[in-house]
Amino acid sequence: MSQSEAPIALDIDQLSVVFDTPDGSLSAVNDFSLAIRRGECVGVVGESGAGKSQSFLAVMGLLAANARVSGQARLGTEPLIDRDVAELNRFRGVKLSMIFQDPMTSLTPHMTVGEQIAESIIHHLGSSAEAARARALALLEQVQVTDAPRRLDQYPHELSGGMRQRVMIAIALACDPEVLIADEPTTALDVTIQAQILSLLATLKRERGMAMALITHDLGVVAGIADRVAVMYAGRVVELGTVHEVLKAPKHPYTAALLASMPRIDDSGTGPLPAIGGQPPNPRRLPAGCAFGPRCAKADALCRTDRPPLVGPGPGEGTRSVACHHPLQGTHHSREM
């Protein structure tokens, strides 16, 4: 079965997240739709504050108390939005797992590493304590934790940041999830370990058909592991397509700017990166038209008044969707990844 025919593992449909704040409501995620198939990895990229984490925290049912969410998300046929906690916990951390952006706050301080990993294996898979400890050890070794047998009996505060991040990954993988949401999973790790973890995730995707949403700032990581990429700007997906299409020839001016701000492999490493000019819009006061308009060289009167919808590909046009009144044409950009 080719990947484009594989069943949809996670289906996110017109998801929106609004936060109530003392200064008024803040629109963090707007009409976010994305379907991820079995065995597929979708990279999710965009500047800080674009709504990447909140989109997927909504899917997990883990938004802050001041959030209002609308739209739907499904794990297979199982609806995820507005479910009660007891029902969500039947598949959260089991079939649907998340590696959180901040590993320091998401580990339990008073439980050993071994206990934390084994807990869900015992609870959800019904394993014996002994079997769960053996699986915990194997997982720690898989995520390249050094000295794994000793680590099992250590507490999170005894570990370095990089080790904690790997423990988080082991916990997320403990029950062999169907869908993994990985929010900047390798940012605290050095390049060699990062490559090993990404290769482990790629293997789980290929061999077990795990579906993955990989949130990252690093387009090099996207190029290395993702099949498709979703580019987010001001809470919306502005471009979606295969990694090959989008990174070779971006159609949204924002995607092109993101690519241009990436360090080149042949850069000598001196001098600052070309940053994208201007600032993302204030999510409390989004502009009426295209949210990227104020920073876009191609913006005209239409862009200022009418928000461009995300338009899917026409017949024979590949898989690309783009939300722009004046999309870039042709092989505008090429870069060795």
Ligand X SMILES: Nc1ncnc2c1ncn2[C@@H]1O[C@H](COP(=O)(O)OP(=O)(O)OP(=O)(O)O)[C@@H](O)[C@H]1O
Copy the structure tokens of residue 169: 């990954």
Nearest distance, CB of residue 101 and ligand X, angstroms: 6
Our CB check for Mg ion shows the closer of 56 and 292 to be 56
H or E element at residue 37: strand 24-37
Nearest distance, CB of residue 332 and ligand X, angstroms: 25
Backbone dihedral angles phi then psi of residue 175, each to the nearest 5 degrees: -100, 20
Strand 24-37 and strand 8-21: the pairing is antiparallel
Q: Which residues sit at the interface with ligand X, rule CB under 6 A?
A: 19, 21, 26, 28, 46, 48-54, 64, 66, 101, 283
Our CB check for Mg ion shows the closer of 94 and 222 to be 222
Contacts of 202 (CB under 8 A, 6+ apart): 41, 225
Q: Which of 40, 35, 34, 36 is nearest to 2 (CA)?
A: 40
Query: How far separated are the first and last CA of the chain, in Å rounded?
Result: 28
Q: CB–CB of 333/261 below 8 Å?
A: no
Q: Which of 96, 69, 82, 10 is nearest to 235 (CA)?
A: 69
Our CB check for ligand X shows the closer of 146 and 282 to be 282
- Residue 5 DSSP one-character state: G
**Residue 162 contacts which entry, ligand X, Mg ion, none (Cβ below 5-8 A, type-dependent):** none
Three-class secondary structure of residue 169 per DSSP: helix
**Residue 34 contacts which entry, ligand X, Mg ion, none (Cβ below 5-8 A, type-dependent):** none
Nearest distance, CB of residue 200 and Mg ion, angstroms: 22
Contacts of 133 (CB under 8 A, 6+ apart): 114, 118, 152
Nearest distance, CB of residue 145 and ligand X, angstroms: 25
Nearest distance, CB of residue 54 and ligand X, angstroms: 3
Our CB check for ligand X shows the closer of 61 and 327 to be 61
**Residue 48 contacts which entry, ligand X, Mg ion, none (Cβ below 5-8 A, type-dependent):** ligand X
Our CB check for Mg ion shows the closer of 16 and 53 to be 53
**Residue 252 contacts which entry, Mg ion, ligand X, none (Cβ below 5-8 A, type-dependent):** none
Could you tell me how many residues make up the chain? 337
**Residue 54 contacts which entry, ligand X, Mg ion, none (Cβ below 5-8 A, type-dependent):** ligand X
Our CB check for ligand X shows the closer of 80 and 230 to be 230
The Cα angle at residue 105 between residues 51 and 161, in degrees rounded to 5? 100
Nearest distance, CB of residue 215 and Mg ion, angstroms: 6
Q: Which residues sit at the interface with Mg ion, rule CB under 5 A?
A: 53, 101
Nearest distance, CB of residue 248 and ligand X, angstroms: 24
Which residue pairs, CB below 8 angstroms and at least 24 apart, start in 22-29? 23/284, 24/284, 25/284, 26/283, 26/284, 27/235, 27/283, 27/284, 27/286, 28/54, 28/67, 28/235, 28/283, 29/54, 29/55, 29/58, 29/235
Our CB check for Mg ion shows the closer of 29 and 41 to be 29
**Residue 302 contacts which entry, ligand X, Mg ion, none (Cβ below 5-8 A, type-dependent):** none
**Residue 66 contacts which entry, Mg ion, ligand X, none (Cβ below 5-8 A, type-dependent):** ligand X
Nearest distance, CB of residue 181 and ligand X, angstroms: 12
**Residue 268 contacts which entry, Mg ion, ligand X, none (Cβ below 5-8 A, type-dependent):** none
